[in-house]
């Protein structure tokens, strides 16, 4: 696995996140959507690497509009990721047999290029939770009153 520079003072609590559903599931979850309990912001948990004892996941906040564009195959996974502005990127190294619930989620200082997503488009055949994900997008958008006029085409 790639070496990462961890910012130990910055953490994200799993307890603050509500699982919405898998955006990509191919022989197991590869990309999952979560919603923050306090402000309904959306987070992607994205599998990026593994070794003989650990699976590595990136956790990053995403824009609901960008996720909607991804689901409509207007942008790629890489473009969804690149829609991040200055939001932090977190990492969780989950030991085999453990879960994200009992793993530290820490901010990283720099993301190696090997962990940047590929230029792949959304495949609805790999998304078992599409209805729940669309509902999560609507909830996120409607929690911010200035965004509510733009809820069409979700």
3-state secondary structure the chain: CCCCCEEEEEECCHHHEEEEEEEEECCCEEEEEEEECCCCCEEEEEEEEECCCEEEEEEEEECHHHHHHHHCCCCCHHHHHHCCCCCCEEEEEEECCCCHHHCCCEEECCCCHHHCCCCCCCCHHHCCCHHHHHHHHHHHHHCCHHHHHHCCCC
Question: Alpha-carbon distance 136 to 104, whole Å?
Answer: 25
Q: Is residue 44 part of a domain?
A: yes
pLDDT 10s digits, 12-71: 888 999 999 999 999 889 999 999 998 888 999 999 999 999 999 999 999 999 999 999
Q: Is residue 153 part of a domain?
A: no
Q: Is residue 70 part of a domain?
A: yes
Number of independent structural domains in the chain:
1
Q: Is residue 154 part of a domain?
A: no
Q: Grade residue 153 by pLDDT with cuts at 50, 70 and 90.
A: low
Q: Is residue 1 part of a domain?
A: no
Q: State the residue range of the domain holding 47.
A: 6-147
Q: Is residue 152 part of a domain?
A: no
The pLDDT assigned to 147 comes to: 45
Q: Mean pLDDT score of the chain, rounded to an integer? A: 89
């Amino acid at each position: 696995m790639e070496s990462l520079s961890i910012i130990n003072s910055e953490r994200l609590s799993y307890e603050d996140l509500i699982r919405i559903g898998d955006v990509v599931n191919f022989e197991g979850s590869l990309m999952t959507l979560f919603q923050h309990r306090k402000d309904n912001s959306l987070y992607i948990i994205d599998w990026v690497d593994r070794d003989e004892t650990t699976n590595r996941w990136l956790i990053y906040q995403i824009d609901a509009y960008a996720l909607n564009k991804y689901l409509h195959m207007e942008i790629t996974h890489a473009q969804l990721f690149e829609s991040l502005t200055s939001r932090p990127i977190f990492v969780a190294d989950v030991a085999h047999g453990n879960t994200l619930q009992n793993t530290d989620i820490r901010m990283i200082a720099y993301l190696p290029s090997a962990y940047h997503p590929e230029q792949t488009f959304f495949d609805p055949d790999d998304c078992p939770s599409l209805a729940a994900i669309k509902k999560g997008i609507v909830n996120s958008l409607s929690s911010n009153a200035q965004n509510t006029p733009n809820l069409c085409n979700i």
